[in-house]
Amino acid sequence: MTAKLDGRSALVSGSGRGIGREIALKLASEGARIVVNDLDADPAQETAELIRNMGGEAVVCAGSVTEDGFADRFIGAAVQNFGGVDIIVNNAGYTWDTVIQKMSDEQWHAIIDVHLTAPFQILRAAQPVISAAAKAEAAEGREVFRKVVNISSIAGTGGNAGQINYAAAKAGIIGLTKTMAKEWGRYKVNVNAVAFGPIRTRLTEAPATGDSTIKVEGKEIRVGLNADLLSQMETSIPLGRVGTPEEAAGAVYLFCVPESDFISGQHVICGGGFVI
């Protein structure tokens, strides 16, 4: 039986760890050839090795999605190694939270850039490749669907105190998604978004002691939810717990397979029934 994504090329930003890694592994398990990206080369290489060990194909395009020229390099990696672009998952990102009166311009722009500007630049860089392929296929009388899945959040659909930068970026992603679905429908590209609710990752996991931080381009960013807050949140989730990265990846996968070929311009909340 042929895998659902056999031979398709898929770019997954932020796929060296967490949800992104699980998305890359899920797509690879169905035959997709993956361009793995992470801010750091080592975790990206680890994901690529996991894919190769399961019999799949993967190449690494390491670096920040906000770097000048990254989008062209990312798309180029798919074209050079796999001959084209079939699936784009805009997943890379992190949080840098505080209330508005304490938020610096740097903090605002950093989160807008990684969650909203970078996906825009990646899709803009992909347009000539996708357009040329779609025109060639149309001339041959073939209908080939491609997929874009943008990652949003319930902070973007309902807002969240202390996350004005993140919530604004994730709300913007939904607007970007709906617009690109209209612009790229003529190319047979399905553009959808998945808005995650509480998912257990290093960005949400409460530290055993002290503060949990991650390093992003030389900055130490505090992450992790207070254990009591996480517990309270779980009681508000109808399914009774936070989600796993594997479950988050499953929601993205639904928008990448042929069964979703007539779904576009939509967003689905993957949050166990939890909404803000």
Mean pLDDT of 18-26: 98
Return the pLDDT at 161.
94
User: pLDDT of 209-219, one tens digit each?
Assistant: 445 667 787 77
Return the pLDDT at 1.
64
Banded pLDDT at 207 (limits 50, 70, 90):
low
pLDDT above 90 as % of the chain: 86
List the catalytic residues: 166
Q: What is the pTM of this model?
A: 0.94
Q: Say if residue 62's pLDDT is above 90.
A: yes
Q: Domain extents for the chain?
A: 9-199+244-270
Return the pLDDT at 233.
79
Whether 24 and 47 have beta carbons less than 8 Å apart is answered as yes
Banded pLDDT at 226 (limits 50, 70, 90):
low
Residue 5, both tokens: 């994504």
Return the pLDDT at 211.
57
Domain 9-199+244-270: assigned CATH number: 3.40.50.720
* Beta pairing partners, 194: 151, 268
Mean pLDDT of 217-243: 79
Least confident range from 81-85, 234-238, 256-260: namely 234-238
Return the pLDDT at 208.
47
Return the pLDDT at 217.
74
Q: Say if residue 77's pLDDT is above 80.
A: yes
User: pLDDT of 185-204, one tens digit each?
Assistant: 999 999 999 999 999 987 66
Whether 65 and 114 have beta carbons less than 8 Å apart is answered as yes
Q: Say if residue 119's pLDDT is above 50.
A: yes
Task: Decide the pairing of beta strands 58-60 and 189-196.
Answer: unpaired
Whether 71 and 125 have beta carbons less than 8 Å apart is answered as yes
Q: Which helix (H) or strand (E) holds 150?
A: strand 146-153
Mean pLDDT of 99-114: 98
Name the more confident of 25 and 213: 25
- How far apart (Å, rounded) are the C-alpha atoms in residues 43 and 18? 10
User: pLDDT of 141-189, one tens digit each?
Assistant: 999 999 999 999 999 999 999 999 999 999 999 999 999 999 999 999 9
How would you write 160-212 as a 3-class SS string? CCCEHHHHHHHHHHHHHHHHHHHHHHHHCEEEEEEEECCECCCCCCCCCCCCE
Residue 169 vs residues 3, 118, 172: alpha-carbon distances, Å = 34, 11, 5
Q: Say if residue 8's pLDDT is above 80.
A: yes
- How far apart (Å, rounded) are the C-alpha atoms in residues 266 and 246? 21
Residue 121, both tokens: 């630049």
Cα angle 21, 221, 231 (rounded to 5 degrees) comes to 70
**What mean pLDDT value characterizes the chain?**
94
Burial 74-93 (b: 16+ CB within 10 A, else e): bbbbbeeebeebbbbbbbbb
The single-letter DSSP state of residue 122 is: H
Which of the given ranges, 67-76, 214-223, 234-243, has the highest pLDDT on average? 67-76
One-letter amino acid for residue 268 of the chain: V
User: pLDDT of 238-257, one tens digit each?
Assistant: 999 999 999 999 999 999 99
Return the pLDDT at 209.
46
Which of 106, 188, 182, 194 shows the shortest CA–CA distance to 150?
194
Return the pLDDT at 96.
96
Residue 133, both tokens: 């392929």
Name the more confident of 78 and 228: 78
Which of 90, 245, 215, 229 shows the shortest CA–CA distance to 162?
229
Return the pLDDT at 79.
98
